[in-house]
Structure 1
Amino acid sequence: MQERSAPDSAVVVRGGARSTGERSIPLSLLRGARLTCPACGKGAMFRRYLKVADACPTCGEALHHHRADDAPPYFTIVIVGHVVVGLMLAVEMAYRPPLWLHAAIWLPLTVLLALLLLPPIKGALIGLQWALLMHGFDPSAEEEKIEPFDTGISNGRGR
């Protein structure tokens, strides 16, 4: 087992894998895709179908500040579209089934694939954000504090 440390950091590299100090992107993606916490890999990331838990129940890692937004549906559409359209074209060229059979096969398959792929894709994207220290996952960054917004609008009485 090879062990070395960088001169100006506390990162220890064992056999090519990063240890304390840096977060492994492939491992975080895998843990997220398995719907587990990107930090420990044991706790559940989601408390419902697509609702991310505020924190990992096992290690306590805060997960509430992720910003997956529209990326998971976008990647899901791209993946499902390529799979379904490719299969549909192959079936059409080989068997020439009637349109009602195409609809009976491909519509349910499209919905099922989208529903099955959406949580792992969202989990992987949250794992990627965690590994890259994005959107509040950086423990050394200050917690973002939002001050109340003063519009300076008066009520017409000079206040």
Structure 2
Amino acid sequence: MTSVRKTAEAGAKGAAAERRKAIGLLAKASRAELQAAFDALADKPAVQPVRGPETGLVMVRGRMGGGGAPFNLGEATVSRASIRLDDGTVGHGQTLGTDGARARLAAIFDALFQQPARKGEVETLLEGIAARVADEDAAKARQTAATRVDFFTMVRGED
């Protein structure tokens, strides 16, 4: 009995981690990517709003050196939306900025991601988003590496 419960808990944690990763990628998606994927859906889901889209502020916190004491860095504008599909599946979307339509589309794809029959469609979208984000990160790393300065110690000859 205990091993069955542990297995079920492990499966639930894995599904939650998978959904968390999907929501994170949907938050990084552009509106054009989300709209194109929605337009490409063969059978568009019937969507009912639960909350929003609405725009607000969140406090961004930072740490000195990544491990120091936390401090308030400033505020960031965010948009969020929650939707319900006809079968009762609820999806949530959050994005930086004031684009409520983008948050709504992200919520729709979150709900579709939770449906086993539609999960593959969303995973295709997520792969494209992940590839774009990786390319942007690599380009930023190349730009940063171009400005890198290597310091070295010179030994004086009079020692």
Query: Is the structural similarity TM-score above 0.5?
Result: no
Q: Which has the higher strand share?
A: 2
How does the TM-score come out when normalised to structure 1?
A: 0.29
Structure with higher Rg: it is: 1
Q: Larger RCO: Structure 1 or Structure 2 (Cα < 8 Å, ≥ 6 residues apart)?
A: 1
Q: TM-score, normalised by structure 2?
A: 0.29
More helix by share: 2
